[in-house]
Amino acid sequence: MLKLINTKILLAILAALVAIGSAAIYQSHEANKAAEAAAKAAAILQQQQQQQQQQHDADEQRKRDEAFRKQVEQDRKRHNSAAANEGKTWKTYIP
């Protein structure tokens, strides 16, 4: 009878250990899943930040290009107007 009680106690202890072990494994698995999700979120965030930076850089480059084009147009108009007025001065020149 005592052997039967000892066996039942040992089985109960074994069942408790199995339950504790499975809970620890489950918790570890859930922690790994959470870590993977956090890593994916961080990667997505980093990618979005890189895209925003590239977009910002592209916008800045477009602004610089547009300013340069305007400056070239102004220089061209100034140069062309000087040449246009030059012909008029020689026509009215009296030595």
3-state secondary structure 24-92: HHHHHHHHHHHHHHHHHHHHHHHHHHHHHHHHHHHHHHHHHHHHHHHHHHHHHHHHHHHHHHHHHHHHC
Q: What percent of the chain has pLDDT over 70?
A: 83
Least confident of 3-7, 10-14, 50-54, 78-82: 78-82
Q: What is the DSSP letter of 70?
A: H
Question: Could you give the CA distance from residue 79 to residue 85 in angstroms, rounded to a whole number?
Answer: 10
Amino acid at 2: L
Question: Could you give the CA distance from residue 34 to residue 36 in angstroms, rounded to a whole number?
Answer: 5
What is the model's pTM?
Answer: 0.55
User: 34-67, pLDDT tens digit by residue?
Assistant: 999 999 999 999 999 999 999 999 999 999 999 9
Amino acid at 21: G
